[in-house]
Amino acid sequence: MIADWPCPAAGGIRHERALVFDRNRTARLLVVPPLFEEANRTRRLLMGAMRQLDDAGIDSLLPDLPGCLESTAPFGEQDLDTWRAAMATAAAHFGATHVFSLRGGALVAPTHLPRWLLEPVAGAALLRQLLRARSIAAKEAGRVENGAALLEIGRAEGLELAGYRCGAGLIRHLEAATVSENSGTAIIRQAELGGGALWLRSEPADDPAQSAALAALLAAGIAG
């Protein structure tokens, strides 16, 4: 089902949406999606895993990052700090006991709860990927765009990357962001799920076997 939650925003609170499997059970997993188009490509993977967790007696909560998916917040106003504040608020609002994040979601996921990170990636690596995609698209359109020059512009003015209007603050944050790991952090590798990484597909795809494998790993970890 869909639930609303109060997200901090400039000038007050904005109500955002979350996909939830919520029966008020003891174990409650906050699921932090990946960033940019990877969120769309892996949505079915995450939803499938959440259904499996529901069957295993674990509640799960997948909030939209402000500016992404169904959110009405302007994407250009977002940076890693606004997303971190949003996910921390979502964790508190829903009473999360554990956290799972995928790829770039690890950069904005709460760090004070036991958590699992699936193939976490540094912000600079994501940024290089986005800049490379823009340069390739420009070349196909008969233009020449240099990644280093684009980055310089992005730091000062922001950039359009993969269809997202990224503000200068987001560009600078991504360039410097690394994944924080602590004693409560466990890393999951794609090889543990089997099959290819869905975030690399050109279109959103489903893989029930991967969803089941992910849910089993998370359920076992939560059970201890």
Residuewise pLDDT in 10s, the chain (224 residues): 999 999 999 888 999 999 999 999 999 999 999 999 999 999 999 999 999 999 999 999 999 999 998 898 999 999 999 999 999 999 999 999 999 999 999 999 999 999 999 999 999 999 999 999 888 888 888 888 888 888 999 999 999 998 899 999 999 999 999 998 776 899 999 999 999 999 999 888 899 999 999 999 999 999 98
pLDDT at res. 46: 98
Sheet holding 59-63, edge to edge: 2-9, 12-21, 59-63, 28-32, 98-102, 115-118, 185-188
What tens digit of pLDDT does each residue of 156-188 get? 999 999 889 999 999 999 999 999 877 689 999
Structure tokens at 4: 């609303």
Straight-line distance from the first to the last Cα atom of the chain, in angstroms, rounded to the nearest whole number = 28
Longest dimension (CA), the chain: 57
Domains and CATH numbers, the chain: 2-121+179-223 (3.40.50.1820), 123-178 (no CATH)
